[in-house]
A and B are shown apart, each in its own frame.
Chain A
Amino acid sequence: MATVKDLLKDKYTQVWYVTPTSTVLDALKLMAEQKIGAVLVVEAGKIVGIFSERDFARKAADGSVSLHSPVNDVMVGAVYYVTPDQSVESCMALMTAKRFRHLPVLDGNKLVGVISIGDVVRQLMLEKDMTIQSLEDYIWVHMI
């Protein structure tokens, strides 16, 4: 079964991030430029938060955000992460349970990538298709 490491191999592993003092507008502009749904907030090499389109829409709805406030004020501080050796299925379970679309990948203390729900689903579909294919092949060869 594939691990997070396998996912990162197929993926351009650039991690887009802002710092806690970047403004909300800086973060949104980066997300728009890179066509991504969330950015990490990183300080001195450590992840201190994550900020997503959803977080922005929710904060705007309750009137608690300004485009010029630091992203530190609106980010989600408790960030779940996964490690390179974890299975893709365990990532899917975490994302589904917590309703996350993005998970940073930490190797020790080092940030090595971010995986999205799209990456995870694509891999799971592929694995299931391969399993189906090999079971069908087995039946053709051995049982018909």
Chain B
Amino acid sequence: MATVKNLLKIKGTQVWSVPVTATVRETLKLMAEKNIGAVLVMEGEKIAGIFSERDYARYAAQRESLLLDEPVSEFMTRAVYYVSPQQTVEECMALMTSKHIRHLPVLDEDHNLVGLISIGDVVKQVLEEKESTIQGLENYILGRGYSG
């Protein structure tokens, strides 16, 4: 079964982030430019939070304001779930499904940020694995059928 490390090899280790001092406007501009749904908010080398399109839409509705000049740190989600490179892709999927989250940062054993995976990456991988299991089983049945 594929691990997070395998997944990062395919999708790359690029992580887009803003510093805690960034405004909402700067953060949204980065998300638009990179066409991504969420960015990490960093305090130096440490993850301070994550900010998503959903967070933005919800806070704008609640505060009845576009919030563009406010600091993003006010609206980010602080409790950030993460995974390690050794975890399986299926574990990530279970975590994302149960917590209703679309993005997971990847931290190595020294707590260095080494990547960010999205629900799209994970789903694609899990579906491919299931498909190749099906192929393998079908080949096994056909192969045995022909030879035996």
Contacts and interface: CB of A to CB of B under 8 A. Distances in A.
A128 B130 contact: yes
Interface residues of B, number: 30
Contacts of A21: none
A56 B31 contact: no
Interface residues of A, number: 30
B123 interface: yes
Q: Which residue, B28, B127, B144, has most C-beta atoms of chain A within 10 A?
A: B28
A72 B4 CA distance: 42
A58 interface: yes
A60 B61 CA distance: 13
The DSSP consensus for interface residues of chain B is helix
Interface stretch (A12-20, A24-32, A75-83, A103-111): A24-32
Q: Say whether chain A's binding surface is mostly helix, strand, loop, or mixed.
A: helix
B36 to A, nearest CB: 10
B131 A128 contact: yes
A54 B37 contact: yes
Interface of B: 25, 28-29, 31-32, 37, 53-54, 56-58, 60-62, 64-66, 68, 123, 126-127, 130-131, 133-134, 137-138, 140-141, 144
